[in-house]
Amino acid sequence: MTKLLAFTDPHFTKPGATIIGLDTAARFKTSLNAALHDHPDASALILLGDLAHHGEVDAYARLKDALADVPCPLIPMLGNHDRRETFLQAFPDAPQSPSGHIQTAIQHGPHHIITLDTLDGPPYSPGHHAGWLCDDRLDWLEARLAETMGAPTLICCHHPPFDTGIVGMDAIKLRNGADVLSRLKAHGNAMLVCGHIHRTISGVAQGVPYTMLKSTGHQAPLDFVTLDSALSIDEPPGYGVILLQPDGITIHHQDVLPRQQVRRDGHSESAPPA
Ligand SMILES: [Fe+2]
């Protein structure tokens, strides 16, 4: 069994800045420390995008510092809040496809992992947060899927390529998501993991199973009505633990809370107070 750690939407800011009053860098470090403490055997750490809130060089430098002691390989990805050029200033060795997009394909035993760069740009339009995969990236995905020969494949994609019911975020999903889903459906053995929404959500889209991780910083409220992608709420952060197992792929969601004592009396009940 291979274990991977996955974090999404840390939204690093410049020093001193906050998002809904939260120090997102501090929250990320808390999640990272908890994950590395509990899972020192992880084989890699995936960062599913929105690494910096405004794509600033300073924010990426802070993220790089926070990751300095991670003992396993890093697989960084970009989201709509990122900027490819400034990211590469801080992470010049990040894996890129031949078209210059921040995406890669990795094999762990019989399992394959494909990461996608869904950032739409350059040019970057202010306030534009939907995702896009150009023909170069779709062709690259098609070629990488073919190389897997139908083996279990984890597809890491910041923007969900489908609607979730969170209408404010559905308005800024992967715009050509149907192209991606049709390819994954044809592959027949792929699972999607996404970020972007800042909530834990699981389901199936066009026959493709998916889950998405909550942010290490601020979360999104469960709101099926309000057409606003900026709604945020201070709920606990979390991360994902991905197990590549002989039967397939399992993804666990772990909230990061003050450390709780694990007890063995979960199947019994206490007598009511007299
Ligand atoms: Fe985000």
Across the 274 residues of the chain, what is the mean pLDDT of every consecutive 10-residue run? 97 96 97 97 98 97 98 98 98 97 97 98 93 98 98 98 97 98 98 98 98 98 94 96 96 88 80 81
| Ligand 1 centroid distance, CA of 220 (Å) | 9
Q: How many whole angstroms from 11 Cα to the centroid of ligand 1?
A: 7
* Cα 81 to ligand 1 centroid, rounded to whole Å: 7
C-beta neighbour count of 175 within 10 angstroms: 15
Q: Decide if 13 contacts 59 (C-beta within 8 A).
A: yes
* Per-residue pLDDT, 273: 82
Alpha carbon of 149 to ligand 1 centroid (Å): 33
Look at residue 88 in the predicted model and tell me its pLDDT: 98
Q: Could you say which DSSP state residue 165 is in?
A: S
Q: What are phi and psi of 66, to 5 degrees?
A: -65, -30
Q: Residue 271: its pLDDT value, please?
A: 83
Q: What is the pLDDT of residue 20?
A: 96
Q: 244-256: b or e for each residue (b if 16 or more CB lie within 10 Å)?
A: beeeebebeebeb
**251 vs 241: CA distance, rounded Å:** 6
Query: What CA–CA distance (Å, rounded) separates 24 from 9?
Result: 9
CATH 3.30.950.10 fits 2-255, yes or no: no
- Check residue 126 and give its pLDDT: 84
The answer to whether 168 and 197 are in contact (CB under 8 A) is no
The rounded Å distance from CA 86 to ligand 1 centre is: 17
Q: What pLDDT is attached to residue 262?
A: 78
CA of 197 to the centre of ligand 1 (A): 7
Beta bridge partners, 87, equal: none
